[in-house]
Amino acid sequence: MTQDSAALKDELRGMFDDRKMAVRTERRAAENAIQTLNYRIALRLTSEMRSEVEGLRWVLTRRTVIALACIVVMTLATLRYAKYAERRQEGERRRMEALGKAIEREAGGARAVEGAMAEIVRDAENPALTSLLSSPLG
């Protein structure tokens, strides 16, 4: 009976050890499955993030190029307008100078006419000249 109980005890101990080994194997298999699943999820997320980042990079590159093109166009337009305004001021200045010269010529001519008129007034004994001076033109 002692031998039978010892044999049963050994057999029971062996069954417990077998069960412990089976549980450890199942636990390792579950951990491996979890690690594989984590790896797949990480891989998928990484690839999706890369594609999102690449798409965002293209959008930002496009916007940057458009912004730079706008800056170049605005700069050229500003330079062209400044040149146009400068030419316009130069033309205005030349017109004013020409007008000033014309006024000076007119003034010089008016002075000459005034001088001639003064001589005519001095010679006022001539009745034809007197009537001419009193006309609306004079």
End-to-end CA distance of the chain: 164
Q: What is the mean pLDDT of residues 76-86?
A: 94
Per-residue pLDDT tens for 38-53? 999 999 998 889 889 9
Domain carrying residue 19: 2-134
Taking 50 as the threshold, does the pLDDT of residue 138 lie above it?
Answer: no
- Local confidence band at 100 (pLDDT 50, 70, 90 cut-offs): confident
Q: Give the CB-side neighbour count of residue 110, counting CA atoms within 13 A.
A: 7
Taking 70 as the threshold, does the pLDDT of residue 121 lie above it?
Answer: no
* Percent of the chain residues past pLDDT 70, beyond the cut: 74
**According to the model, what pLDDT value does residue 42 have?**
92
| Total domains in the fold of the chain | 1
Per-residue pLDDT tens for 14-25? 899 899 999 999
